[in-house]
Amino acid sequence: MCYELYLSTSSGQDLSQYNSDLIRFERLDKVSDGYTAFLKHPWNWYVGTSTGCSCALRHFAQDDPEFCEPQDWCREEDDDIRATAELYRVIASLIAGGGRVECLNAWSGALHDEIKSMDVDLSVVSERAFCLFENHHFVFRYEAL
């Protein structure tokens, strides 16, 4: 089993231009029926990592999720941290360009009613603190203080 990360955006920008050794964007022509309720924008992408799936990102499974910078007591792979930072920069760039962005981060086979929604203001959540929460649908925005 693996994490599956999907990005939905109103921007027609080709996200494959951001592909690197750590993160890859693959355009989806069709979205899995179980996820269509969460991916509302016209351009949808699967976000893969160096492992092929979406597992090599900062993921946490928490009942009360909270963004935080990597901690010494909780070892995280350097590549996972860097890949997550690359994802953050792509999302921030899309928003800065006027696009709307949502992501769905789900454990393979997660049921629709297991998915929780979360609004994320990138003016409050830093690149270093950004992470993904298991079975969450994220709606991103940037509201300058």
- The pTM of this model reads 0.94
C-beta of residue 19 within 8 angstroms of C-beta of residue 71: no
C-beta of residue 14 within 8 angstroms of C-beta of residue 89: no
36: how many CB neighbours lie within 10 A of its CB?
A: 13
Q: Where are the domains of the chain?
A: 3-117+133-141
**End-to-end CA distance of the chain, in Å?**
40
pLDDT in tens, 21-80: 999 999 998 776 677 778 889 999 999 999 999 999 999 887 788 999 888 787 888 999
